[in-house]
A and B are shown apart, each in its own frame.
Chain A
Amino acid sequence: MTGTPAAEAAEAVAAAGAEAYPRIVATLIRVTGDWALAEDCAQEALAVALERWPGDGVPANPGGWLMTVARNRAIDVLRRAAVERRKLHDLAVLTPVDAEPGPAMGEDVVDDRLRLIFTCCHPALAIEARVALTLRTVCGVPTAAIARLLLVSESTMTRRLTRARTRIAQAGIPYRVPSGPALAERLPGVLAVLYLLFTRGYVADGEPAFADEAVRLARLLDRLMPEQSEVAALLALFLFQHSRRDARRDAAGALLTLDRQDRRRWDHSAIAEGLAALARARDDGPYAWQARIAACHATAASAEATDWPAIARAYDALSDLRPSPVVALNRAVAHGYAYGPAAGLALLDAARTGGGLDGYPHAVAVEADLVARQGDRLRAAALFRRAAEAVGSAAERSALLSRAAELDP
Chain B
Amino acid sequence: MKYMMFVCTDTEPDTDPSDVPDIHAWVAENDARGRRLQGDALAPTTAATTVRVRGGELLVSDGPFAETTEVIVGFDLLDCADLDEAIEVARAHPMARHGRLELRPFAGLPG
Contact = CB atoms under 8 A, between A and B. Distances in A.
Interface stretch (A166-174, A211-219, A329-337): A166-174
A1 interface: no
Nearest to A168: B83
Interface in B64-111: 80-84, 86-87, 103, 105, 107
Task: Tell me the interface secondary structure of chain A in the complex.
Answer: loop
A178 to B, nearest CB: 7
A104 interface: no
A182 interface: yes
Nearest to A170: B105
B86 A170 contact: no
A172 B82 contact: yes
Nearest to A174: B82
Contact of A174 (B83, B103, B105, B107): B83
B84 A171 contact: no
A176 interface: yes
Nearest to B107: A170
Q: Which of A122, A170, A171, A176 has the largest number of chain B CB atoms within 10 A?
A: A171
B1 interface: yes
A124 interface: yes
B107 A182 contact: no
Nearest to B83: A172
A16 to B, nearest CB: 34
B90 to A, nearest CB: 12
Interface string A99-131: 000000000000000000000001010000000
B17 to A, nearest CB: 21
A172 B5 CA distance: 14
* B interface: dominant SS: mixed
Interface string A142-184: 0000000000000000000000000000111110101000100
B110 to A, nearest CB: 14
Contacts of B80: 172
Most B-side CB within 10 Å, residue of A172, A174, A178 = A172
A182 B105 contact: no
Contacts of B103: 171
B79 to A, nearest CB: 11
A119 to B, nearest CB: 10
A122 B103 CA distance: 15
Nearest to B2: A172
A182 B83 contact: no
A315 B107 CA distance: 50
A122 B84 CA distance: 10
A122 B83 CA distance: 10
A223 B100 CA distance: 38
Contacts of A124: 83, 87
Nearest to B81: A174
A111 B72 CA distance: 42
Interface string B1-43: 1010000000000000000000000000000000000000000
A176 B105 contact: no
Interface string A34-75: 000000000000000000000000000000000000000000
B91 to A, nearest CB: 10
B32 to A, nearest CB: 21
B37 to A, nearest CB: 16
Nearest to A178: B84
Contact of B86 (A122, A172, A176): A172
A125 to B, nearest CB: 11
Contacts of B1: 172
A122 B82 CA distance: 13
A164 B86 CA distance: 19
A196 to B, nearest CB: 22
A178 B103 CA distance: 20
Contacts of A173: 82-84
Contacts of B87: 124
A171 B107 CA distance: 10
B5 to A, nearest CB: 13
Nearest to A169: B105
Given A174-B81, A178-B84, 10 more contacts: A122-B83, A124-B87, A170-B105, A171-B83, A171-B103, A171-B105, A172-B86, A173-B82, A173-B83, A174-B83
22 contacts: A122-B83, A124-B83, A124-B87, A170-B105, A170-B107, A171-B83, A171-B103, A171-B105, A172-B1, A172-B3, A172-B80, A172-B83, A172-B86, A172-B105, A173-B83, A173-B84, A174-B81, A174-B84, A176-B82, A176-B84, A178-B84, A182-B84
Closest 8 pairs (CB-CB, A-B): A174-B82, A172-B83, A172-B1, A172-B82, A173-B83, A171-B83, A174-B84, A172-B105
Interface of A: 122, 124, 170-174, 176, 178, 182
